[in-house]
Structure 1
């Protein structure tokens, strides 16, 4: 009797779900059809757009690789193992990250991960005790993964090992970047305000060396006024809209495009929208080629 009841309940639930379509409509046979199906029957099942977006994000991470969401090497903030606390504590206070890779001579030699909370005992130590503090004894083992690892697989591994950060290795064994559990969750639920996100209080913020962080919601008119440019705002009002037009798709982190003498690189984005962009004149870009009138887009590091 229990099996019949269970089967009856399952059948009733499926009938309710797939019966939301007309009887002459086939059941979804692919991911795209399933998403379309959910968007159409969502209101009848009390699924709002946010819930449908989360389902879509959960499905998409099985196709995404670590290289698409990682914090690139150029933005990794690391601590050298022979540094004294007074040398790296200012970095920790300024960046407010919770985890840092600890390296030997360069980023390709990651020795482990330092959790900022593991430095709390230093507060109670006197000067002589701090001088004897050995960073090698405080670091935890680092988790190393390839750039090609699938996000769904990494999320499962994070949960099983209780790690929150992994060092991403390229095909030559060098450090390509870092990835955190938050980077994966953002692909599912949207942006999470965490320690890796840049401050968006200012729409346009100078980073140095001719680089600027620009909020994707910055109006094109404000951008033109600030940089003395003349980008058209006839079709789009914001920098984010302009970038999507140029790419022809929703770009991912570190994807960049060069046009009209400028390079635009996505700093912060999820599968729904662009949040933060890094911009610089092509003449200030490292290893840059002469500007091209034709739209050129590439994934940084590939």
Structure 2
């Protein structure tokens, strides 16, 4: 370098620092790029995305290439800086050049380009991949040699380059992605997406109508009573049974009953009603909602009876019950009407029917009662007490103070719940 002027050495040093910054920024940009967006662009035949994706298929070679280039450039810059320092300051210039070059490389070749690449990974990775692809072909023997040595060392720890981590998201991570996409999706759409992700955790008993609330008709009742119930039925499908609900006969569609009633009143009797009955579709207890949704679709059914392992009826589930878990309640108004089972009092406490579903209670009041046990509030309290209370009492579940107000027929009929925000505000 004795024949090169000091000014030329400064120019060479500046170029080497810029090249070092290029390698540092390229590494950060390519490694920071959104893999899911990259896959999307690859499917759209984006050439730059395909080039980056090809480089990422062998990260060991990509990192080897970048580090070979970066180290060669940094070593060259160190040599040039040492020569410049010795020319300007003699032997003391070596120390000055070392500290000065370290600061310059840190600022201009590391922190600045890597920060820029982290903020704009695509804008850095796509153009830089052109140069990296060319360099990979030129330096391929050296890159392969370095990769062979490093992979050999990794094999000592039981790691091979084929063990590339799959960039898949867990359900909770995907829910976080959805919740963070507020600028792209309306809130209602976000709620629907997260509800779909939660379906696999829910079972049919979480949304079913309990057996004691099933609206059904005893076929052994007086015919006038049966006709009256059919005329005033508020559901399109009504369950028929003999004497007790476990002896279910089948479902009668209100449309079929109305057709028989209008065609000939004289012929509309129990026999004709039973002939119009549709076969019951049974659902095993514990079936996940995602599974049941597919079964409803495959069997072309819209309603089913949930039975336990002994064949006893536990409840009733409809397709609408499952869909409501995704899209929300089907109502004729956009505003949320207060539930008849959940009544907020003027003092801030809440009167709740003991038979209310715990999941529905949590959803409506934004509470956090446990969902891994009984499905109703009454069952939750009984499980906590390990006994059926015979008089009014107070307890606390998940931090919520609860007053049992009414007990009837071995069931808790009415409770008063003190919301946590009210308890904290009053200091109790």
- In which range does the TM-score fall when normalised by the shorter chain? 0.5 to 0.7
Any conservation in 2 of the 1:101–1:112 contact (CA below 8 Å)? yes
Match of 1:287 among 387, 406, 410: 410
TM-score normalised over the length of structure 1: 0.63
Higher RCO by CA contacts (8 Å cutoff, separation 6 or greater): 1
| 1:101 match | 239
Counterpart position of 1:275? none
Deviation string, structure 1 residues 117-147 (Cα, Å, up to 9, x no partner): 1112233344432247432201011101111
Q: In the alignment, which of 366, 369, 381 is matched to residue 247 of structure 1?
A: 369
- In 2, the alpha carbon distance for the partners of 1:68 and 1:83 equals 32
> What's the counterpart of residue 134 of structure 1?
272
Pairwise CA distance, 1:184: 0.4
Alpha-carbon distance change, 39 to 175 in structure 1, aligned in 2, over 3 angstroms = same
| Equivalent residue for 2:345, pick from 220, 230, 244 | 220
1:244–1:250 CA contact under 8 A, matched in 2: no
Cα distance change of structure 1 residues 11 and 183 upon mapping to structure 2, 3 Å threshold: farther
Report which of the two has the higher share of helix.
2
Stretch of structure 1 that moved more, 116-125 or 80-89: 80-89
Report 1:76-95 matches (<5 A).
76-83=214-221, 85-95=223-233
Q: Does structure 2 conserve the Cα–Cα contact (< 8 Å) formed by 1:69 and 1:252?
A: no
- 1:266-293 per-residue CA deviation (whole Å, 9 max, x = no partner) reads xxxxxxxxxxxxx99554333158x99x
User: 1:64/1:31 Cα in 2 relative to 1: closer, same or farther (>3 Å)?
Assistant: same
Task: List per-residue Cα deviations over 1:145-203 (Å, max 9, x = no partner).
Answer: 11111111111111121111101001221100100001100111111249xxxxx97x6
RMSD between superposed Cα atoms in Å: 4.5
* Whole-angstrom CA distance in 2 between matches of 1:129 and 1:47: 56
SS in 1 for 2:44: helix
Q: Alpha-carbon deviation of 1:250?
A: 11
- Determine the C-alpha separation between the residues in 1 that align with 2:328 and 2:195: 8
Q: Which of residues 286, 291, 296 is equivalent to 1:153? A: 291
1:84·1:131 contact (CA, 8 Å) conserved in 2? Answer: no
- Is residue 37 from structure 1 mapped to residue 177 from structure 2 by the alignment? yes
Is 1:167 equivalent to 2:202 in the alignment? Answer: no
Deviates further, 96-105 or 177-186: 96-105
Q: How does 1:6-21 map to 2 (within 5 A)?
A: 7-9=42-44
Q: In proportion to residue count, which structure has more strand?
A: 1
Unaligned 5+ residue runs, structure 1? 16-20, 195-199, 205-212, 228-238, 264-278, 296-302
In structure 2, relative to structure 1, the CA distance for the partners of 1:154 and 1:139 (3 Å cut) is: same
1:57-80 Cα deviation digits (max 9, x unpaired): 111111211111100001011122
Q: Write the mapping of 1:236-275 to structure 2, written as runs, cut at 5 A.
A: 245=367, 247=369, 254-256=376-378, 258=381, 261=392
